[in-house]
A and B are shown apart, each in its own frame.
Chain A
Protein backbone atom coordinates (compact mmCIF):
# COMPACT_ATOMS: atom_id res chain seq x y z
CA UNK A 1 0.00 0.00 0.00
CA UNK A 2 1.10 3.55 -0.50
CA UNK A 3 -0.36 7.00 -0.10
CA UNK A 4 -0.79 9.07 -3.20
CA UNK A 5 -1.81 12.67 -3.76
CA UNK A 6 -1.84 12.93 -7.54
CA UNK A 7 -3.34 10.64 -10.12
CA UNK A 8 -2.45 10.70 -13.82
CA UNK A 9 -5.80 12.31 -14.62
CA UNK A 10 -5.33 15.01 -12.04
CA UNK A 11 -1.78 15.78 -13.22
CA UNK A 12 -3.05 16.10 -16.77
CA UNK A 13 -5.95 18.23 -15.59
CA UNK A 14 -3.80 20.59 -13.53
CA UNK A 15 -1.49 21.01 -16.52
CA UNK A 16 -4.55 21.72 -18.62
CA UNK A 17 -5.84 24.27 -16.09
CA UNK A 18 -2.50 26.07 -16.19
CA UNK A 19 -2.55 26.10 -19.98
CA UNK A 20 -6.15 27.35 -19.90
CA UNK A 21 -5.15 30.27 -17.67
CA UNK A 22 -2.41 31.26 -20.11
CA UNK A 23 -4.80 30.83 -23.02
CA UNK A 24 -7.41 32.97 -21.27
CA UNK A 25 -4.84 35.68 -20.70
CA UNK A 26 -4.51 36.10 -24.45
CA UNK A 27 -8.28 36.39 -25.02
CA UNK A 28 -8.40 40.21 -24.98
CA UNK A 29 -5.71 40.28 -27.68
CA UNK A 30 -7.84 38.27 -30.08
CA UNK A 31 -11.54 38.61 -29.32
CA UNK A 32 -13.94 41.52 -29.21
CA UNK A 33 -14.64 43.49 -25.99
CA UNK A 34 -18.15 42.10 -25.72
CA UNK A 35 -16.86 38.57 -25.25
CA UNK A 36 -14.14 39.83 -22.92
CA UNK A 37 -16.77 41.49 -20.74
CA UNK A 38 -18.79 38.26 -20.64
CA UNK A 39 -15.76 36.23 -19.65
CA UNK A 40 -15.01 38.75 -16.90
CA UNK A 41 -18.52 38.07 -15.58
CA UNK A 42 -17.79 34.35 -15.64
CA UNK A 43 -14.55 34.84 -13.69
CA UNK A 44 -16.42 36.92 -11.09
CA UNK A 45 -18.91 34.06 -10.69
CA UNK A 46 -16.11 31.48 -10.35
CA UNK A 47 -14.42 33.62 -7.70
CA UNK A 48 -17.65 34.14 -5.74
CA UNK A 49 -18.59 30.47 -5.89
CA UNK A 50 -15.16 29.35 -4.71
CA UNK A 51 -15.22 31.80 -1.80
CA UNK A 52 -18.72 30.89 -0.68
CA UNK A 53 -17.77 27.23 -0.87
CA UNK A 54 -14.68 27.91 1.26
CA UNK A 55 -17.03 29.22 3.95
CA UNK A 56 -19.89 26.77 3.70
CA UNK A 57 -18.20 23.71 2.26
CA UNK A 58 -15.20 23.66 4.57
CA UNK A 59 -16.15 25.92 7.49
CA UNK A 60 -19.80 24.89 7.76
CA UNK A 61 -20.70 28.60 7.67
CA UNK A 62 -23.76 29.43 5.56
CA UNK A 63 -23.53 33.18 4.96
CA UNK A 64 -26.38 35.15 3.43
CA UNK A 65 -24.33 38.33 3.78
CA UNK A 66 -21.21 38.02 1.64
CA UNK A 67 -22.61 40.92 -0.40
CA UNK A 68 -21.23 43.06 2.44
CA UNK A 69 -17.72 42.44 1.09
CA UNK A 70 -18.80 42.75 -2.54
CA UNK A 71 -20.17 46.17 -1.62
CA UNK A 72 -17.05 47.19 0.30
CA UNK A 73 -14.88 46.19 -2.68
CA UNK A 74 -17.04 48.06 -5.17
CA UNK A 75 -17.57 51.21 -3.11
CA UNK A 76 -13.98 51.12 -1.87
CA UNK A 77 -12.81 51.32 -5.49
CA UNK A 78 -15.04 54.32 -6.18
CA UNK A 79 -13.86 55.96 -2.95
CA UNK A 80 -10.13 55.54 -3.59
CA UNK A 81 -10.48 56.50 -7.24
CA UNK A 82 -12.30 59.63 -6.05
CA UNK A 83 -9.31 60.46 -3.84
CA UNK A 84 -7.14 60.66 -6.94
CA UNK A 85 -5.63 57.17 -6.78
CA UNK A 86 -5.21 55.52 -10.18
CA UNK A 87 -8.33 53.34 -10.71
CA UNK A 88 -6.52 50.00 -10.95
CA UNK A 89 -4.47 50.76 -7.85
CA UNK A 90 -7.75 51.75 -6.18
CA UNK A 91 -9.11 48.31 -7.02
CA UNK A 92 -6.24 46.54 -5.28
CA UNK A 93 -6.56 48.86 -2.27
CA UNK A 94 -10.31 48.23 -2.06
CA UNK A 95 -9.73 44.46 -2.11
CA UNK A 96 -7.29 44.83 0.77
CA UNK A 97 -9.80 46.96 2.70
CA UNK A 98 -12.51 44.32 2.28
CA UNK A 99 -10.12 41.67 3.58
CA UNK A 100 -8.99 43.77 6.53
CA UNK A 101 -12.58 44.68 7.46
CA UNK A 102 -13.43 40.98 7.55
CA UNK A 103 -11.09 40.49 10.53
CA UNK A 104 -13.07 42.52 13.11
CA UNK A 105 -16.33 41.20 11.65
CA UNK A 106 -15.05 37.64 12.11
CA UNK A 107 -14.38 38.26 15.81
CA UNK A 108 -18.07 38.78 16.25
CA UNK A 109 -19.69 36.72 13.51
CA UNK A 110 -17.81 33.47 14.13
CA UNK A 111 -19.31 33.22 17.58
CA UNK A 112 -22.66 32.63 15.93
CA UNK A 113 -23.95 29.34 14.64
CA UNK A 114 -26.14 28.25 11.75
CA UNK A 115 -29.08 30.62 11.30
CA UNK A 116 -27.65 33.23 13.67
CA UNK A 117 -24.53 33.44 11.55
CA UNK A 118 -26.49 33.43 8.28
CA UNK A 119 -28.85 36.25 9.22
CA UNK A 120 -26.24 38.03 11.38
CA UNK A 121 -24.08 38.40 8.27
CA UNK A 122 -27.11 39.55 6.31
CA UNK A 123 -27.80 42.29 8.88
CA UNK A 124 -24.14 43.35 8.76
CA UNK A 125 -24.49 43.72 4.97
CA UNK A 126 -27.66 45.78 5.52
CA UNK A 127 -25.90 48.03 8.04
CA UNK A 128 -23.02 48.72 5.64
CA UNK A 129 -25.54 49.34 2.87
CA UNK A 130 -27.37 51.91 5.04
CA UNK A 131 -24.07 53.65 5.84
CA UNK A 132 -23.31 53.91 2.11
CA UNK A 133 -26.79 55.25 1.43
CA UNK A 134 -26.21 58.01 3.99
CA UNK A 135 -23.03 59.17 2.24
CA UNK A 136 -23.73 61.78 -0.42
CA UNK A 137 -20.14 61.52 -1.72
CA UNK A 138 -20.79 57.89 -2.65
CA UNK A 139 -23.95 58.81 -4.54
CA UNK A 140 -26.24 57.94 -1.60
CA UNK A 141 -29.10 55.67 -2.67
CA UNK A 142 -28.97 56.53 -6.37
CA UNK A 143 -25.62 55.01 -7.25
CA UNK A 144 -22.33 56.26 -8.62
CA UNK A 145 -20.13 55.72 -11.68
CA UNK A 146 -16.46 54.88 -11.74
CA UNK A 147 -15.79 57.80 -14.10
CA UNK A 148 -12.03 57.57 -13.61
CA UNK A 149 -11.99 54.48 -15.84
CA UNK A 150 -13.08 56.62 -18.78
CA UNK A 151 -9.48 57.76 -19.20
CA UNK A 152 -8.84 54.40 -20.87
CA UNK A 153 -10.16 53.55 -24.33
CA UNK A 154 -13.00 50.97 -24.00
CA UNK A 155 -10.99 48.14 -25.59
CA UNK A 156 -8.04 48.64 -23.27
CA UNK A 157 -10.23 49.15 -20.25
CA UNK A 158 -12.04 45.88 -20.92
CA UNK A 159 -8.74 44.07 -21.43
CA UNK A 160 -7.16 45.46 -18.24
CA UNK A 161 -10.26 44.57 -16.23
CA UNK A 162 -10.26 41.08 -17.67
CA UNK A 163 -6.60 40.56 -16.79
CA UNK A 164 -7.27 41.78 -13.28
CA UNK A 165 -10.20 39.40 -13.03
CA UNK A 166 -8.06 36.52 -14.27
CA UNK A 167 -5.27 37.42 -11.84
CA UNK A 168 -7.68 37.63 -8.90
CA UNK A 169 -9.36 34.35 -9.82
CA UNK A 170 -6.07 32.49 -10.24
CA UNK A 171 -4.62 33.96 -7.02
CA UNK A 172 -7.65 33.18 -4.86
CA UNK A 173 -8.28 29.73 -6.32
CA UNK A 174 -4.60 28.86 -5.94
CA UNK A 175 -4.58 30.22 -2.38
CA UNK A 176 -7.61 28.10 -1.49
CA UNK A 177 -6.21 25.06 -3.28
CA UNK A 178 -2.84 25.13 -1.55
CA UNK A 179 -4.47 25.98 1.75
CA UNK A 180 -6.62 22.86 1.41
CA UNK A 181 -3.64 20.71 0.44
CA UNK A 182 -1.47 21.97 3.29
CA UNK A 183 -1.52 20.38 6.76
CA UNK A 184 -3.96 23.15 7.66
CA UNK A 185 -6.22 21.90 4.91
CA UNK A 186 -6.42 18.48 6.47
CA UNK A 187 -7.86 20.05 9.60
CA UNK A 188 -10.25 22.14 7.47
CA UNK A 189 -11.57 19.01 5.81
CA UNK A 190 -11.89 17.40 9.21
CA UNK A 191 -14.03 20.33 10.32
CA UNK A 192 -16.12 19.96 7.16
CA UNK A 193 -16.75 16.30 7.91
CA UNK A 194 -17.44 16.59 11.63
CA UNK A 195 -16.79 19.77 13.56
CA UNK A 196 -17.20 18.27 17.04
CA UNK A 197 -15.01 15.29 16.28
CA UNK A 198 -12.32 17.57 14.83
CA UNK A 199 -12.41 19.75 17.93
CA UNK A 200 -12.09 16.76 20.22
CA UNK A 201 -8.96 15.72 18.29
CA UNK A 202 -7.39 19.08 19.04
CA UNK A 203 -8.15 20.97 15.81
CA UNK A 204 -8.33 24.69 16.53
CA UNK A 205 -11.71 25.06 14.92
CA UNK A 206 -12.19 28.78 15.60
CA UNK A 207 -8.79 29.78 14.18
CA UNK A 208 -9.32 27.68 11.06
CA UNK A 209 -12.75 29.14 10.48
CA UNK A 210 -11.33 32.65 10.85
CA UNK A 211 -8.79 31.85 8.16
CA UNK A 212 -11.55 30.83 5.76
CA UNK A 213 -13.71 33.81 6.71
CA UNK A 214 -10.94 36.31 6.04
CA UNK A 215 -10.00 34.57 2.79
CA UNK A 216 -13.65 34.81 1.72
CA UNK A 217 -13.68 38.47 2.77
CA UNK A 218 -10.71 39.20 0.50
CA UNK A 219 -12.15 37.11 -2.33
CA UNK A 220 -15.64 38.61 -2.23
CA UNK A 221 -14.08 42.07 -1.96
CA UNK A 222 -12.08 41.31 -5.11
CA UNK A 223 -15.28 40.18 -6.82
CA UNK A 224 -16.95 43.47 -5.85
CA UNK A 225 -14.02 45.40 -7.28
CA UNK A 226 -14.42 43.50 -10.55
CA UNK A 227 -18.17 44.13 -10.59
CA UNK A 228 -17.68 47.91 -10.58
CA UNK A 229 -14.77 47.65 -13.06
CA UNK A 230 -16.90 45.55 -15.40
CA UNK A 231 -20.13 47.53 -15.22
CA UNK A 232 -18.72 51.01 -14.39
CA UNK A 233 -21.80 51.87 -12.34
CA UNK A 234 -23.01 50.66 -8.96
CA UNK A 235 -25.91 51.39 -6.66
CA UNK A 236 -26.41 50.15 -3.10
CA UNK A 237 -29.67 48.43 -4.02
CA UNK A 238 -27.97 46.00 -6.39
CA UNK A 239 -24.42 45.71 -5.08
CA UNK A 240 -25.62 44.95 -1.53
CA UNK A 241 -28.48 42.79 -2.80
CA UNK A 242 -29.10 39.41 -1.20
CA UNK A 243 -29.39 38.13 -4.78
CA UNK A 244 -25.60 37.71 -4.75
CA UNK A 245 -26.02 35.20 -1.96
CA UNK A 246 -28.70 33.46 -4.00
CA UNK A 247 -26.28 33.12 -6.92
CA UNK A 248 -23.48 31.86 -4.68
CA UNK A 249 -25.73 29.29 -3.02
CA UNK A 250 -27.01 28.11 -6.40
CA UNK A 251 -23.54 27.71 -7.90
CA UNK A 252 -22.10 25.88 -4.92
CA UNK A 253 -25.08 23.60 -4.28
CA UNK A 254 -25.47 22.60 -7.90
CA UNK A 255 -21.74 22.24 -8.48
CA UNK A 256 -20.94 20.44 -5.26
CA UNK A 257 -20.63 21.75 -1.72
CA UNK A 258 -17.29 20.96 -0.10
CA UNK A 259 -15.54 19.94 -3.31
CA UNK A 260 -12.90 22.09 -4.95
CA UNK A 261 -14.02 21.59 -8.55
CA UNK A 262 -17.78 21.72 -7.94
CA UNK A 263 -18.24 25.48 -7.48
CA UNK A 264 -16.29 26.16 -10.68
CA UNK A 265 -18.65 23.83 -12.52
CA UNK A 266 -21.59 25.57 -10.83
CA UNK A 267 -20.30 28.98 -11.93
CA UNK A 268 -19.99 27.81 -15.53
CA UNK A 269 -23.55 26.43 -15.38
CA UNK A 270 -24.95 29.67 -13.92
CA UNK A 271 -23.07 31.64 -16.57
CA UNK A 272 -24.51 29.43 -19.31
CA UNK A 273 -28.01 29.87 -17.88
CA UNK A 274 -27.55 33.64 -17.64
CA UNK A 275 -26.39 33.93 -21.24
CA UNK A 276 -29.24 31.72 -22.48
CA UNK A 277 -31.99 33.56 -20.61
CA UNK A 278 -30.59 37.00 -21.30
CA UNK A 279 -33.80 38.79 -20.39
CA UNK A 280 -33.53 37.27 -16.92
CA UNK A 281 -36.83 37.90 -15.22
CA UNK A 282 -38.77 36.15 -12.49
CA UNK A 283 -39.09 32.73 -14.16
CA UNK A 284 -35.35 32.42 -14.33
CA UNK A 285 -35.06 33.22 -10.62
CA UNK A 286 -37.87 30.79 -9.78
CA UNK A 287 -35.81 28.15 -11.57
CA UNK A 288 -32.62 29.08 -9.72
CA UNK A 289 -34.31 29.01 -6.30
CA UNK A 290 -36.12 25.76 -6.96
CA UNK A 291 -32.98 24.08 -8.31
CA UNK A 292 -30.92 25.19 -5.32
CA UNK A 293 -33.55 23.91 -2.88
CA UNK A 294 -33.86 20.64 -4.79
CA UNK A 295 -30.12 20.05 -4.76
CA UNK A 296 -29.94 20.82 -1.03
CA UNK A 297 -32.63 18.23 -0.38
CA UNK A 298 -31.98 15.50 -2.94
CA UNK A 299 -28.37 15.77 -4.09
CA UNK A 300 -26.52 17.48 -1.25
CA UNK A 301 -23.09 16.71 -2.75
CA UNK A 302 -24.04 18.46 -5.98
CA UNK A 303 -23.16 17.38 -9.49
CA UNK A 304 -19.41 17.20 -8.97
CA UNK A 305 -19.62 15.56 -5.57
CA UNK A 306 -21.82 12.85 -7.05
CA UNK A 307 -19.52 12.30 -10.01
CA UNK A 308 -16.55 12.13 -7.69
CA UNK A 309 -18.28 9.60 -5.49
CA UNK A 310 -19.44 7.35 -8.31
CA UNK A 311 -16.34 7.40 -10.51
CA UNK A 312 -13.60 8.06 -7.97
CA UNK A 313 -12.50 10.87 -10.27
CA UNK A 314 -10.18 13.53 -8.85
CA UNK A 315 -9.19 16.39 -11.09
CA UNK A 316 -7.80 18.79 -8.51
CA UNK A 317 -7.03 16.55 -5.57
CA UNK A 318 -6.82 18.16 -2.13
CA UNK A 319 -6.84 14.91 -0.15
CA UNK A 320 -4.83 11.73 0.06
CA UNK A 321 -5.63 8.40 -1.55
CA UNK A 322 -4.47 4.99 -0.55
CA UNK A 323 -3.59 2.81 -3.53
CA UNK A 324 -2.23 -0.67 -4.06
CA UNK A 325 1.52 -0.32 -4.58
CA UNK A 326 3.06 -1.77 -7.73
CA UNK A 327 5.63 -4.56 -7.34
CA UNK A 328 8.69 -2.50 -8.30
CA UNK A 329 7.52 0.34 -6.01
CA UNK A 330 7.60 -2.05 -3.11
CA UNK A 331 11.11 -3.14 -3.98
CA UNK A 332 12.25 0.46 -4.05
Chain B
Protein backbone atom coordinates (compact mmCIF):
# COMPACT_ATOMS: atom_id res chain seq x y z
CA UNK B 1 0.00 0.00 0.00
CA UNK B 2 2.89 2.37 0.70
CA UNK B 3 4.02 1.74 -2.85
CA UNK B 4 0.64 2.70 -4.32
CA UNK B 5 0.55 5.73 -2.07
CA UNK B 6 4.05 6.71 -3.24
CA UNK B 7 2.93 6.48 -6.86
CA UNK B 8 -0.18 8.56 -6.11
CA UNK B 9 1.89 11.25 -4.39
CA UNK B 10 4.29 11.07 -7.32
CA UNK B 11 1.48 11.83 -9.73
CA UNK B 12 0.51 14.90 -7.71
CA UNK B 13 4.14 16.02 -7.52
CA UNK B 14 4.48 15.33 -11.23
CA UNK B 15 1.52 17.58 -12.01
CA UNK B 16 3.48 20.37 -10.36
CA UNK B 17 6.57 19.58 -12.45
CA UNK B 18 4.42 19.49 -15.58
CA UNK B 19 3.10 22.99 -14.90
CA UNK B 20 6.65 24.15 -14.25
CA UNK B 21 7.83 22.55 -17.49
CA UNK B 22 4.92 23.66 -19.67
CA UNK B 23 6.36 27.06 -20.56
CA UNK B 24 9.76 25.58 -21.31
CA UNK B 25 8.08 23.11 -23.65
CA UNK B 26 6.10 25.83 -25.43
CA UNK B 27 9.18 27.98 -26.02
CA UNK B 28 11.12 25.01 -27.31
CA UNK B 29 8.26 23.93 -29.52
CA UNK B 30 7.73 27.36 -31.06
CA UNK B 31 11.22 28.89 -31.11
CA UNK B 32 13.45 25.86 -30.55
CA UNK B 33 15.26 27.52 -27.70
CA UNK B 34 15.64 26.55 -24.07
CA UNK B 35 15.31 29.44 -21.67
CA UNK B 36 17.82 28.80 -18.88
CA UNK B 37 16.18 31.54 -16.80
CA UNK B 38 12.84 29.68 -16.79
CA UNK B 39 13.21 28.45 -13.20
CA UNK B 40 14.17 31.91 -12.01
CA UNK B 41 11.13 33.41 -13.73
CA UNK B 42 8.96 30.92 -11.83
CA UNK B 43 10.61 31.97 -8.56
CA UNK B 44 10.17 35.63 -9.54
CA UNK B 45 6.45 34.93 -10.00
CA UNK B 46 6.35 33.41 -6.52
CA UNK B 47 8.05 36.52 -5.07
CA UNK B 48 5.67 38.93 -6.80
CA UNK B 49 2.74 36.91 -5.44
CA UNK B 50 4.41 36.93 -2.02
CA UNK B 51 4.75 40.73 -2.05
CA UNK B 52 1.07 41.18 -2.91
CA UNK B 53 0.04 38.79 -0.13
CA UNK B 54 2.35 40.55 2.28
CA UNK B 55 0.91 44.01 1.55
CA UNK B 56 -2.77 43.22 1.21
CA UNK B 57 -3.29 40.04 3.17
CA UNK B 58 -5.33 38.46 0.38
CA UNK B 59 -5.18 34.75 -0.43
CA UNK B 60 -2.19 33.58 -2.47
CA UNK B 61 -4.51 32.58 -5.31
CA UNK B 62 -6.02 36.09 -5.57
CA UNK B 63 -2.55 37.60 -5.35
CA UNK B 64 -1.41 35.35 -8.17
CA UNK B 65 -4.20 36.67 -10.41
CA UNK B 66 -2.87 40.18 -9.75
CA UNK B 67 0.70 39.08 -10.46
CA UNK B 68 -0.27 37.36 -13.69
CA UNK B 69 -0.53 40.50 -15.92
CA UNK B 70 2.86 41.63 -14.61
CA UNK B 71 4.41 38.33 -15.66
CA UNK B 72 2.72 38.42 -19.08
CA UNK B 73 4.14 41.88 -19.75
CA UNK B 74 7.52 40.62 -18.53
CA UNK B 75 7.32 37.78 -21.04
CA UNK B 76 6.72 40.21 -23.88
CA UNK B 77 9.59 42.44 -22.76
CA UNK B 78 11.91 39.44 -22.37
CA UNK B 79 11.18 38.33 -25.91
CA UNK B 80 11.57 41.76 -27.48
CA UNK B 81 14.78 42.65 -25.64
CA UNK B 82 16.82 39.50 -25.03
CA UNK B 83 15.42 36.54 -26.96
CA UNK B 84 14.62 38.35 -30.21
CA UNK B 85 18.27 39.29 -30.65
CA UNK B 86 19.66 35.96 -29.52
CA UNK B 87 17.42 33.98 -31.88
CA UNK B 88 19.15 35.53 -34.87
CA UNK B 89 22.63 34.72 -33.61
CA UNK B 90 22.71 30.93 -33.79
CA UNK B 91 21.84 28.10 -31.46
CA UNK B 92 24.33 28.81 -28.66
CA UNK B 93 23.54 32.48 -28.07
CA UNK B 94 20.07 31.94 -26.52
CA UNK B 95 21.65 29.55 -24.00
CA UNK B 96 24.41 31.98 -23.08
CA UNK B 97 22.12 35.02 -22.92
CA UNK B 98 19.45 33.33 -20.80
CA UNK B 99 22.10 31.86 -18.50
CA UNK B 100 23.36 35.41 -17.87
CA UNK B 101 19.78 36.55 -17.32
CA UNK B 102 19.27 33.74 -14.82
CA UNK B 103 22.20 34.95 -12.71
CA UNK B 104 20.88 38.51 -12.89
CA UNK B 105 17.37 37.51 -11.71
CA UNK B 106 18.69 35.35 -8.86
CA UNK B 107 20.89 38.05 -7.47
CA UNK B 108 18.41 40.89 -7.95
CA UNK B 109 15.94 38.76 -5.96
CA UNK B 110 18.59 38.25 -3.30
CA UNK B 111 19.24 42.00 -3.12
CA UNK B 112 15.53 42.78 -2.84
CA UNK B 113 14.30 39.99 -0.61
CA UNK B 114 17.40 38.76 1.31
CA UNK B 115 18.45 35.11 1.14
CA UNK B 116 15.74 34.06 3.65
CA UNK B 117 13.36 31.30 2.64
CA UNK B 118 9.74 32.29 2.06
CA UNK B 119 6.52 30.36 1.66
CA UNK B 120 3.04 31.02 0.32
CA UNK B 121 1.64 28.05 2.25
CA UNK B 122 0.25 30.17 5.10
CA UNK B 123 -1.74 32.40 2.77
CA UNK B 124 -3.28 29.69 0.62
CA UNK B 125 -5.98 28.74 3.12
CA UNK B 126 -7.03 25.28 4.25
CA UNK B 127 -5.92 23.75 0.98
CA UNK B 128 -2.36 23.21 2.20
CA UNK B 129 -3.37 21.14 5.19
CA UNK B 130 -6.53 19.24 4.29
CA UNK B 131 -6.38 15.74 2.94
CA UNK B 132 -8.59 12.70 2.76
CA UNK B 133 -7.63 9.28 3.94
CA UNK B 134 -9.00 6.98 1.25
CA UNK B 135 -7.97 3.76 2.92
CA UNK B 136 -5.33 2.96 5.46
CA UNK B 137 -2.03 4.40 4.19
CA UNK B 138 -3.52 5.96 1.08
CA UNK B 139 -4.14 9.68 1.35
CA UNK B 140 -5.20 12.31 -1.14
CA UNK B 141 -4.16 15.84 -0.29
CA UNK B 142 -6.33 18.73 -1.39
CA UNK B 143 -3.29 20.56 -2.76
CA UNK B 144 -2.19 17.54 -4.78
CA UNK B 145 -5.64 17.25 -6.30
CA UNK B 146 -5.76 20.97 -7.09
CA UNK B 147 -2.36 20.78 -8.78
CA UNK B 148 -3.43 17.83 -10.88
CA UNK B 149 -6.69 19.49 -11.93
CA UNK B 150 -4.95 22.77 -12.71
CA UNK B 151 -2.29 20.94 -14.75
CA UNK B 152 -5.00 19.21 -16.78
CA UNK B 153 -6.79 22.53 -17.32
CA UNK B 154 -3.55 24.27 -18.40
CA UNK B 155 -2.56 21.56 -20.88
CA UNK B 156 -6.16 21.13 -22.07
CA UNK B 157 -6.62 24.83 -22.75
CA UNK B 158 -3.31 25.00 -24.56
CA UNK B 159 -4.42 22.09 -26.72
CA UNK B 160 -7.68 23.89 -27.49
CA UNK B 161 -5.84 27.14 -28.16
CA UNK B 162 -3.43 25.48 -30.59
CA UNK B 163 -5.99 23.35 -32.40
CA UNK B 164 -9.10 25.53 -32.41
CA UNK B 165 -8.14 29.20 -32.48
CA UNK B 166 -6.71 31.27 -35.27
CA UNK B 167 -3.88 32.52 -33.03
CA UNK B 168 -3.08 28.89 -32.25
CA UNK B 169 -2.86 27.96 -35.93
CA UNK B 170 -0.61 30.93 -36.53
CA UNK B 171 1.63 29.80 -33.70
CA UNK B 172 1.85 26.24 -35.04
CA UNK B 173 2.55 27.49 -38.54
CA UNK B 174 5.38 29.66 -37.22
CA UNK B 175 6.75 26.76 -35.20
CA UNK B 176 6.70 24.55 -38.28
CA UNK B 177 8.42 27.01 -40.61
CA UNK B 178 8.90 30.66 -39.62
CA UNK B 179 10.02 31.73 -43.11
CA UNK B 180 7.01 30.20 -44.83
CA UNK B 181 4.79 31.75 -42.17
CA UNK B 182 6.31 35.16 -42.90
CA UNK B 183 5.55 34.64 -46.60
CA UNK B 184 1.84 34.31 -45.91
CA UNK B 185 1.85 37.44 -43.80
CA UNK B 186 2.45 36.18 -40.29
CA UNK B 187 4.57 38.42 -38.09
CA UNK B 188 6.80 35.85 -36.40
CA UNK B 189 8.08 38.44 -33.91
CA UNK B 190 4.65 38.95 -32.38
CA UNK B 191 3.98 35.20 -32.42
CA UNK B 192 7.22 34.58 -30.53
CA UNK B 193 6.41 37.35 -28.07
CA UNK B 194 2.99 35.82 -27.45
CA UNK B 195 4.50 32.37 -26.92
CA UNK B 196 7.03 33.75 -24.45
CA UNK B 197 4.31 35.66 -22.58
CA UNK B 198 2.25 32.46 -22.25
CA UNK B 199 5.35 30.54 -21.16
CA UNK B 200 6.32 33.07 -18.50
CA UNK B 201 2.73 33.25 -17.20
CA UNK B 202 2.60 29.46 -16.77
CA UNK B 203 6.04 29.54 -15.17
CA UNK B 204 4.61 31.95 -12.60
CA UNK B 205 1.80 29.46 -11.95
CA UNK B 206 4.51 26.87 -11.29
CA UNK B 207 6.10 29.38 -8.92
CA UNK B 208 2.78 29.77 -7.09
CA UNK B 209 2.57 26.02 -6.51
CA UNK B 210 6.22 25.90 -5.50
CA UNK B 211 5.52 28.55 -2.86
CA UNK B 212 2.37 26.83 -1.58
CA UNK B 213 3.67 23.29 -1.39
CA UNK B 214 7.07 24.14 0.07
CA UNK B 215 9.45 27.06 0.47
CA UNK B 216 11.55 29.10 -1.93
CA UNK B 217 14.51 31.47 -1.82
CA UNK B 218 16.29 33.57 -4.47
CA UNK B 219 18.51 30.64 -5.47
CA UNK B 220 15.63 28.15 -5.97
CA UNK B 221 15.41 28.80 -9.71
CA UNK B 222 18.15 26.51 -11.08
CA UNK B 223 16.69 23.44 -9.35
CA UNK B 224 13.25 24.22 -10.78
CA UNK B 225 14.81 24.64 -14.22
CA UNK B 226 16.50 21.25 -13.99
CA UNK B 227 13.26 19.53 -12.93
CA UNK B 228 11.32 21.33 -15.65
CA UNK B 229 13.85 20.42 -18.32
CA UNK B 230 13.89 16.82 -17.13
CA UNK B 231 10.11 16.68 -17.49
CA UNK B 232 10.33 18.12 -21.02
CA UNK B 233 13.01 15.64 -22.10
CA UNK B 234 11.42 12.60 -20.47
CA UNK B 235 8.14 13.41 -22.22
CA UNK B 236 9.82 14.05 -25.57
CA UNK B 237 11.00 17.52 -26.58
CA UNK B 238 8.39 19.49 -28.49
CA UNK B 239 5.46 17.36 -27.42
CA UNK B 240 2.97 19.19 -25.23
CA UNK B 241 1.09 16.24 -23.71
CA UNK B 242 4.43 14.46 -23.51
CA UNK B 243 5.55 17.17 -21.10
CA UNK B 244 2.59 16.41 -18.83
CA UNK B 245 3.42 12.71 -18.87
CA UNK B 246 7.13 13.49 -18.48
CA UNK B 247 6.40 15.60 -15.42
CA UNK B 248 4.33 12.82 -13.89
CA UNK B 249 7.03 10.23 -14.69
CA UNK B 250 9.59 12.47 -13.00
CA UNK B 251 7.36 12.95 -9.95
CA UNK B 252 6.70 9.22 -9.60
CA UNK B 253 10.42 8.44 -10.03
CA UNK B 254 11.22 10.87 -7.22
CA UNK B 255 8.65 9.58 -4.77
CA UNK B 256 9.60 5.97 -5.53
CA UNK B 257 13.27 6.90 -5.09
CA UNK B 258 12.40 8.40 -1.73
CA UNK B 259 11.01 5.00 -0.69
CA UNK B 260 14.49 3.53 -1.14
CA UNK B 261 16.24 6.34 0.73
CA UNK B 262 15.11 9.92 1.39
CA UNK B 263 18.29 11.27 -0.22
CA UNK B 264 17.68 9.15 -3.28
CA UNK B 265 14.54 11.02 -4.40
CA UNK B 266 16.14 13.67 -6.59
CA UNK B 267 18.78 11.17 -7.73
CA UNK B 268 16.10 8.81 -9.06
CA UNK B 269 14.65 11.63 -11.16
CA UNK B 270 18.10 12.49 -12.54
CA UNK B 271 18.76 8.85 -13.41
CA UNK B 272 15.43 8.53 -15.21
CA UNK B 273 16.28 11.67 -17.19
CA UNK B 274 19.77 10.45 -18.12
CA UNK B 275 18.38 7.04 -19.11
CA UNK B 276 15.83 8.66 -21.39
CA UNK B 277 18.58 10.77 -22.96
CA UNK B 278 20.75 7.69 -23.56
CA UNK B 279 17.88 5.74 -25.08
CA UNK B 280 16.85 8.59 -27.34
CA UNK B 281 20.41 9.44 -28.48
CA UNK B 282 19.59 13.07 -27.98
CA UNK B 283 17.32 13.24 -31.00
CA UNK B 284 13.80 14.48 -30.61
CA UNK B 285 11.26 16.11 -32.86
CA UNK B 286 10.90 19.81 -32.70
CA UNK B 287 7.33 20.62 -33.63
CA UNK B 288 4.18 20.78 -31.57
CA UNK B 289 3.32 17.30 -32.71
CA UNK B 290 0.27 16.52 -30.62
CA UNK B 291 -1.39 19.79 -31.41
CA UNK B 292 -2.04 18.81 -34.98
Q: What residues of chain A have their CB less than 8 Å away from a CB belonging to chain B?
A: 56, 60, 62, 64, 108, 111-120, 122-124, 126-127, 130, 133-134, 242, 245-246, 249, 253, 282-283, 285-286, 288-294, 296-298, 300
Contacts and interface: CB of A to CB of B under 8 A. Distances in A.
B103 A297 contact: no
Nearest to A243: B103
Interface stretch (B1-9, B65-73, B265-273): B265-273
22 contacts: A108-B278, A111-B277, A115-B28, A115-B34, A116-B277, A116-B282, A119-B225, A123-B270, A124-B274, A126-B266, A127-B271, A130-B266, A282-B111, A286-B108, A289-B100, A289-B102, A289-B103, A292-B103, A293-B104, A296-B86, A296-B96, A297-B86
Given A114-B92, A116-B233, A123-B270, A289 B226 contact: no
A124 B103 CA distance: 20
A119 B226 contact: yes
Contacts of B33: 115
B286 to A, nearest CB: 11
A326 B286 CA distance: 55
Contacts of B82: 293, 297
B169 interface: no
Contacts of A124: 274
Nearest to B237: A116
A123 B274 contact: yes
Interface string B97-110: 11111111011101
A290 to B, nearest CB: 5
B217 interface: no
B93 interface: yes
Interface of B: 28, 33-34, 36, 82, 85-86, 89, 91-93, 95-104, 106-108, 110-111, 222, 225-226, 229-230, 233, 237, 263, 266-267, 270-271, 273-274, 277-278, 281-282, 284
A327 to B, nearest CB: 44
B96 A293 contact: yes
Contact of B93 (A119, A245, A289, A300): A300
Nearest to A60: B92
Contacts of B97: 293, 296-297
Given A130-B266, A282-B107, A253 B96 contact: yes
Nearest to A294: B100
Contacts of A126: 226, 266, 270
Most buried by B among A130, A283, A297: A297
Given A113-B282, A293-B96, A286 B111 contact: yes
Most buried by A among B34, B100, B225, B237: B100
Contacts of B107: 282-283, 285-286, 289
A146 to B, nearest CB: 25
A246 B267 contact: no
B267 A130 contact: yes
Nearest to A114: B91
Given A111-B281, A130-B270, 18 more contacts: A108-B278, A116-B282, A117-B282, A118-B95, A119-B36, A120-B274, A127-B267, A130-B266, A130-B267, A246-B99, A249-B96, A285-B103, A286-B104, A289-B104, A290-B100, A292-B96, A293-B82, A297-B89
